[in-house]
Amino acid sequence: MPTWLILILVGVALVILGVATEIGQFLIWIGVAVLVLSLILGLVGRGRGAGV
């Protein structure tokens, strides 16, 4: 499982359970940030590999 997915799932579980909702929201945002960063790095890496 990707790291971003684990962070988002744990964050959502904490928010739904009502336990440490601020920490859960923080984990969701960190997961989204990691996802976006990995997508950007993947696109940049793919661009370099294609000789662009």
Give me the phi and psi of 20, to 5 degrees please: 50, 60
- Rounded mean pLDDT, 30-41: 93
- Rounded mean pLDDT, 21-46: 91
The whole-number pLDDT of residue 36 equals: 94
Q: Determine contact, residues 18/34, Cβ cutoff 8 Å.
A: no
Q: Residue 1: pLDDT band by 50, 70, 90 thresholds?
A: confident
Q: Which residues contact 35 (CB under 8 A, 6 or more apart)?
A: 2, 4, 8
pLDDT at 52 over 60: no
pLDDT at 32 over 70: yes
The whole-number pLDDT of residue 2 equals: 85
